[in-house]
Amino acid sequence: MIFTVAEENYIKAVYHLQQEQETVSTNALSAELQTRPASVTDMLKKLKSKRIISYEPYHGVKLSNEGRKVALGIVRKHRLWEYFLVDKLQFGWDEVHEVAEELEHISSTKLVDKLDAFLGYPKFDPHGDPIPDSKGRLAAQQQEPLAAIPLNKTVEITAVGSQSSELLELLKHKGLQMGTRLEVKKIFDFDGSLELKSKNQQIVTISRDLASVLFVKPV
Amino acid sequence: MIFTVAEENYIKAVYHLQQEQETVSTNALSAELQTRPASVTDMLKKLKSKRIISYEPYHGVKLSNEGRKVALGIVRKHRLWEYFLVDKLQFGWDEVHEVAEELEHISSTKLVDKLDAFLGYPKFDPHGDPIPDSKGRLAAQQQEPLAAIPLNKTVEITAVGSQSSELLELLKHKGLQMGTRLEVKKIFDFDGSLELKSKNQQIVTISRDLASVLFVKPV
DNA sequence: TTTATTTTTTAGGTTTGTCTAAAAATAAAT
DNA sequence: ATTTATTTTTAGACAAACCTAAAAAATAAA
Ligand SMILES: [Mn+2]
Ligand SMILES: [Mn+2]
Ligand SMILES: [Mn+2]
Ligand SMILES: [Mn+2]
């Protein structure tokens, strides 16, 4: 089956929101896609008629098996292109999302598979998110939220939980990026803020909010 | 200014048809874009109002200076992506056109310029057509139509005058491609057909129609 | 368990890009 | 110089994807 760019963006949005909530609300999609709820309802009817989602009025939406396959295909393209942009074209990891948002809609599967081979079948994108393989399989991530790491254990940043430019700006400012090694030195109960020691001995303070979107793995 | 995919396809089509005819007719665009003439008229009005073309009802259309700049930008992207597909992803030169037709509409200029650098600033695409540089300048092609070449002079194929799959299939069958070296051994007045000797001593017969879309340069 | 608030859907429009059928303009042929 | 044929434009419709405003359903509060 063939999908329009708009349909693909909805399908991907449902997929992402389902990571948080088993069933996805009209308003959540409206917020994610910057589209009025009435427009979301229209599209949900259309996607239901194409059997991409299950949807009962007023009771939210889930991807069908077919829908999940389609979503993984789009996510695969998005993340492969991000990897390409960073690894081959020297983009910063904080400036690839917008472009990948367009590139993910190029339809040729031959292109995707050849790109995958050209890149050496990478398992994770520049933000640490897993890249589905050509059969839609995701590599298991043995990463944990930074909040769950004991003090003084050396870990490495492997993923961030959002692509917002505000977040990426903050990380850049703090000198944190994919692969940065650090230890949690202290957690303050008052506001949940953390003090980290990064590899080059620098002390960095981060908020609870920031810590909650950082994922790490032991080194 | 920002353009839709449909607008960009029209702008590029006008550009290409202007290589043949100073002024482009509604029907020519209709044929090129596989769209009914009435739809073409609608779009021409729109592009005129955006000052991309000059257009007087019933008297055809030309690109404005602005329009030419836009067209060269699209052609640049199209040909750079074709080069990428063949040179980096191992596509055949006869299977890249469709994909490039989509990729040419990705908007980021940063992407195009970084891609250009990554590819080593190529001057010609896999079909031998010149790639506009970031300022829209085209490399001069010192190539001539095969029909204009004297007998027994060794030349090399540098371009084909069409991307039709029928043409590309025929060339593949005859063992002719970009860079193939050959000499014209004979021209038959009866039907305008040519006998060529290719580098590996093989004799190949081609029609006047085929010869007219092959471009070569002396080696 | 009513009442109030929030969420979602329906109803009715708009823009973009396409179409068919018919009319008008231009070009070609007698 | 008419008539005929071709090309192009106009008129009116349609599907996709969005919108606002109002109605209806679900949820939360009193
Ligand atoms: Mn997208
Ligand atoms: Mn990513
Ligand atoms: Mn195109
Ligand atoms: Mn080409």
DSSP A150: P
Q: For the segment A65-120, what is each residue's pLDDT rounded down to a tens digit?
A: 999 999 999 999 999 999 999 999 999 988 999 999 999 999 999 999 999 999 99
Buried b (16+ CB within 10 A) or exposed e, A33-59: bebeeeebeebbeebbebebbebeeee
CA–CA dist B28, B21 (Å, integer): 10
Rounded to an integer, the average pLDDT of A147-163 is: 85
> Are B64 and B78 contacting, i.e. CB atoms less than 8 angstroms apart?
no
Q: Is the pLDDT of residue A142 over 80?
A: no
Q: What is the CA radius of gyration of chain B?
A: 19
Q: What was the pLDDT predicted at A164? A: 79
CA distance A92 to A75: 20
Interface test with B, best of A3, A5, A84, A102 (most B CBs within 10 A): A102
| Residues in Cβ contact with B18 at an 8 Å cutoff, skipping those fewer than 6 apart | B24, B62, B63
- According to the 3-state scheme, what is the secondary structure of chain B? CCCCHHHHHHHHHHHHHHCCCCCECHHHHHHHHCCCHHHHHHHHHHHHHCCCEEECCCCCEEECHHHHHHHHHHHHHHHHHHHHHHHCCCCCCCCCHHHHHHHCCCCCHHHHHHHHHHHCCCCECCCCCECCCCCCCCCCCCCEEHHHCCCCCCEEEEEECCCCHHHHHHHHHHCCCCCCEEEEEEECCCCCCEEEEECCCCEEEECHHHHCCEEEEEC
Query: What pLDDT is attached to residue A189?
Result: 79
Q: Assign A186 a pLDDT band (cuts: 50, 70, 90).
A: confident
Q: Are the C-beta atoms of residues B212 and B145 closer than 8 Å to each other?
A: yes
Q: Do A85 and B111 touch (CB under 8 A)?
A: yes
Nearest residue to A126 via CA among A169, A168, A173, A73 = A168
Look at residue B198 in the predicted model and tell me its pLDDT: 84
What CA–CA distance (Å, rounded) separates A88 from B182?
37
Instruction: Please report residues of A whose CB lies closer than 8 A to that of B2.
Output: none
Question: What pLDDT is attached to residue B98?
Answer: 95
Return the structure tokens found at A153.
């254990």
> Is the minimum distance from the CB of A38 to strand D below 7 Å?
yes
> What is the chain B residue with the closest CA to A89?
B114
Cα(B10) to ligand 3 centroid in Å equals: 9
* pLDDT for res A209: 83
Give residue B208's pLDDT: 86
- What is the mean pLDDT of the segment spanning A23-44? 98
Provide residues of A within 8 Å CB-CB of chain B: 85, 88-91, 95, 98-99, 102-103, 106-108, 110-111, 114-115, 118
Quick one: pLDDT at residue A100?
Answer: 98
| Amino acid at residue number A147 | A
Residue of B nearest to A119 (CA): B89
B198 burial (CB, 10 Å; 0-12 / 13-18 / 19+) is middle
User: Nearest nt (C1') to B34 (CA)?
Assistant: C18
Taking the C-alpha atoms of residue A179 and residue A127, their distance in angstroms, rounded to an integer, is 10
Smallest CA–C1' distance to D27, residue: A58
The residues facing B205 across adjacent strands are B195
Predicted structure pTM score: 0.82
- The mean pLDDT of chain A is 93
C-alpha A61, offset from chain centre:
20
pLDDT recorded at residue B151: 87
**Are A66 and A52 spatial neighbours (Cβ–Cβ below 8 Å)?**
yes
Residue A148 has pLDDT above 90, yes or no: no
The stretch A185-205 carries a mean pLDDT of 86
Name the interface residues of B facing A (CB cutoff 8 Å).
85, 88-91, 95, 98-99, 102-103, 106-108, 110-111, 114-115, 118
Mean pLDDT (whole number) for A31-56? 98
Record: contact A85-B115, CB cut-off 8 A: no
Q: Supply the Cα-derived Rg of chain A in whole angstroms.
A: 19
Q: Inter-chain contact B118–A89, Cβ cutoff 8 Å?
A: yes
Quick check: A154 pLDDT over 80? yes
Q: B176 and B184 in contact (C-beta within 8 Å)?
A: no
Q: Which pair of tokens denotes residue A36?
A: 């009025």
Domains and CATH numbers, chain A: 5-63 (1.10.10.10), 76-139 (1.10.10.10), 144-218 (2.30.30.90)
Least confident range from A25-29, A58-62, A200-204, B85-89: namely A200-204
Taking CB atoms and an 8 Å cut-off, how many pairs form between chains A and B? 38
- pLDDT one digit per residue (tens) for chain B, 219 residues: 999 999 999 999 999 999 999 999 999 999 999 999 999 999 999 999 999 999 999 999 999 999 999 999 999 999 999 999 999 999 998 899 999 999 999 999 999 999 999 999 999 998 889 999 999 999 887 788 888 788 888 999 988 877 778 888 888 888 888 889 998 998 887 888 898 998 777 888 999 888 888 889 888
B85 neighbourhood in chain A, CB within 8 Å: 111
pLDDT confidence of residue A30: 98
Query: Which chain B residues are Cβ-neighbours of A90 within 8 angstroms?
Result: 114
CB B157 within 8 A of CB B184: no
Highest mean pLDDT, choosing among A10-24, A131-145, A170-184, B178-192: A10-24
- Helices A5-18 and A26-33 pack at an angle, to 10 degrees, of 120
Which residues surround the ion ligand 1 when the cut-off is CB under 5 Å? Answer: A 9, 101
Q: Which of B5, B62, B54, B51 is nearest to B28 (CA)?
A: B62
Q: Is there a contact between B207 and B192 (Cβ–Cβ < 8 Å)?
A: yes
> Are the beta carbons of B102 and A91 separated by less than 8 Å?
no
